[in-house]
Structure 1
Amino acid sequence: MDATKRIEQALTAAVADAEGPLCPPRLAAAIRYAVFPGGARIRPQLALAVAWACGDDAPDVADAAAVAIELLHCASLVHDDLPCFDNAPIRRGKPSVHKAFGERLAVLAGDALIVLAFETLARRVASRPERLAPLLLIVGGSVGMTSGIIAGQAWECEPRIELAEYHRAKTAALFAAATAAGAAAAGADPEAWRAFGERLGEAYQVADDIRDVAATAEDLGKPIGQDQAHDRPSAARELGVAGAMERLEALVAGAVAAIPSCPGAEDLRKLIRAEVLRLLPKELSRRVA
């Protein structure tokens, strides 16, 4: 089974676990709406790719790690779009969750997705119980208040923000968790894979900053100009588009260089290049092709 099918089947099973006769129907609908259809699923793809590169001796554990990461990402999007943050009316080309279901259900759906991520790990790592605690720490750290995505969002509430630190928490933390969790799920050393995920995550955020000023809302499936509108730090605002492109190229090169020696290294390099090209507007993607 290819990675895309594995991810979608595992996500479907995880969401089904949260649905039942006692679940409020509109909450269940909001959760499903937030998860399906998804975007590129780059974070769970990374987790599975690293697990495969490390032997993938427990596919059910790797699937659980990949799903937990994606559920947390979906939760972050629901919360990011709320009126108290971005107040974004569109996400993935359709009305954002708070526009479709109301603000109260959007808050609850985001919260429920966070809880479901950890429930999924607890339920589906039974075949390798010794791997559960490391995975919980890796995934928990990616969302925590010290350097996870919660901290990344909180930096926007501070009077001064250092761009690299903001990017590391806001985006790179979940990428680093994806690569580290993929390794841990396969019984390998997660720390050997963390730098790869961190650099790729920073590159992803720089590319997103560039798209916010150089792409169209139709291309992105969400509003553009959000960094300027909310006075957020941005590589494109701070460095200019040309400088941000240089930063992106350096981060991509750093991510490629950080891939540990393994049988799947070349496949990972191809995945990185394809994802960067997908993210950038066409007129800019030629520079990193």
Structure 2
Amino acid sequence: MGLSKRIDAAVERAIAMGRAGPAPERLSGALHYACTPGGARIRPTILTSVALACGDDRPSITDAASASLELVHCASLVHDDLPCFDDADVRRGKPSVHRAYSEPLAVLTGDSLIVLAFNVLSRAAGDTPERALALIAVLSRQTGMPHGICAGQGWESEAQIDLSAYHRAKTGALFIAATQMGALAAGQEAEPWTELGARIGEAFQVADDLRDALFDEQALGKPAGQDDLHGRPNAVSMLGVDGAMKRLSDILSGAIASIPSCPGEAQLAQMVRMYADRLTPSAEVLRARA
């Protein structure tokens, strides 16, 4: 089974767990709607790639970890799109959950996905409870306060923003979770993988800032120009397009250099280079902007 199919199957199994038995039909449908189709599944792909590079001796715990991370990410998108935050009508090229199902059901969908993520990990403990507990600890730390994605959203309500802490929490947290959880799922230490996750997360934040400034809604599959609209700090407003492009290149070079020694080190470096190519806006886009 290819990596993409493996991850999609793990996510589908997790969603089925959340919809099992008598359940509210519309909320059950919203859980599936929020997670499918899944886009690039970047975070679980990084997680599984790290696990494979480290040996992936317990594939079932790796699959549970990748699904749980994706559920938390999908939950964050549902909440981000709510009227109290971005008030976005579109996500992944289709109506956002609160537009398709109502605002109350969107709140419940996001909450349910977060709870389901931890349920998936607890059920996967089996004969590796130490790994499951470590995975739960990492995912909870990178989801909540004071350094997780909840903190990242919270920074936007502050009068003064610590930009480094804001970016690390808003975007970097789940990428740090991805690299750390991949290592933990394969029985390795989490800490050596922190820098790689942080650098990939920062690269995706800068790339997202560039895409928000350079692309339109059709290309993004979600509203464009949101950073300017909501007055958010971002790399383009601080560094300009050229400066943000250079910053992106520097971060990605550092990410490759930070990969810990492991059997699959070369394959991981290739994966980072692949994402670098995908993240960097093309010359055609930059010319059009000019």
Normalising by the smaller structure, the TM-score range is over 0.9
CA-CA distance at 1:283 after TM superposition? 2.1
Query: Is the contact made by 1:163 and 1:235 (CA closer than 8 Å) also made in structure 2?
Result: no
In structure 1, the partner of 2:81 is 81
Q: 2:46 aligned with 1:46, yes or no?
A: yes
Partners of 1:131 and 1:243 lie apart in 2 by 41
Preserved contact between residue 124 and residue 132 of structure 2 (Cα < 8 Å): no
Residue aligning to 1:4: 4
2:176 corresponds to 1:182: no
CA distance in 1: counterparts of 2:151 and 2:130, whole angstroms: 29
| Structure 2 residue aligned with 1:32 | 32
Is 2:213 aligned against 1:213?
yes
1:273, distance to aligned residue in structure 2 (A): 2.0
Across the aligned residues of Structure 1 and Structure 2, the Cα RMSD in angstroms comes to: 1.3
Find the aligned partners of 2:247 and 2:280 in 1 and give their Cα distance. Answer: 14
Structure 1 position 275, deviation (Å)? 1.8
CA contact (8 A) 1:277 1:285 kept: no
Q: Deviations over 1:97-136 (max 9, x none)?
A: 0010010000000000000000000111213112121111
List structure 1 runs of 4+ shifted beyond 6 angstroms: none
- Deviation digits for residues 178-203 of structure 1 (CA, Å, limit 9, x no counterpart): 10001001100111111100110010
Q: Does 1:239 align with 2:261?
A: no
Count matched residues. 286
Give the Å deviation of 1:163.
2.0
Whichever residue aligns with residue 111 of structure 2, its letter is D
- What is the one-letter code of the residue matched to 1:32? H
Aligned positions of 1:190-201 closer than 5 A: 190-201=190-201
Partner of 2:161: 161
Instruction: Tell me if the contact between 2:148 and 2:173 (Cα under 8 Å) persists in the aligned partners.
Output: yes
The CA deviation at 1:3 is 1.2
1:283 alignment counterpart? 283
Change (3 A) 1:142 1:285: farther
Letter in 2 for 1:136: I
Distance 2:285 2:74 in 1: 26
Q: Give 1:7-156 correspondences, 5 Å limit.
A: 7-156=7-156
Q: With structure 2 as the length reference, what TM-score do the two structures score?
A: 0.96
Contact kept in structure 2, 1:199 and 1:251, CA below 8 Å: yes
CA–CA separation in structure 2 for the residues paired with 1:95 and 1:278: 25
Q: Which runs of 5+ in 1 are unaligned?
A: none
Map Cα deviations across residues 129-181 of structure 1 (whole Å, 9 max, x no partner).
12121111111011111100000000000011122221100010100001000
8 A contact 2:214–2:285 mirrored in 1: no
CA distance in 2, matches of 1:215, 1:285: 8
Kindly state the Cα deviation for residue 238 of structure 1 after the two structures are TM-superposed: 1.1
Distance 1:106 1:254, change over 3 A: same
1:13-61 per-position Cα deviation (integer Å, ceiling 9, x unaligned): 1000011332100001111000000110010001101111111000000
- Flag the 1:238–1:109 CA change in 2: closer, same or farther, 3 A: same
C-alpha offsets along residues 185-229 of structure 1, whole Å, 9 cap, x if unaligned?
A: 110011111110011001001000000001121111001000000
> How far, CA to CA, are the matches of 1:40 and 1:59 in structure 2?
21
| 1:285 Cα offset (Å) | 8.5
The offset of 1:284, in angstroms, is 7.0
Stretch moving more, 88-97 or 258-267? 258-267
Asked if 2 retains the 8 angstrom alpha-carbon contact of 1:259 and 1:265, the reply is: yes
- Structure 1 distance, partners of 2:202, 2:257, is 14
Distance 2:250 2:27 in 1: 43
What secondary structure sits across from 1:269 in the alignment?
helix
Query: Which residue number in structure 1 is paired with residue 266 of structure 2?
Result: 266
Quick one: percent identity of the two aligned structures?
53
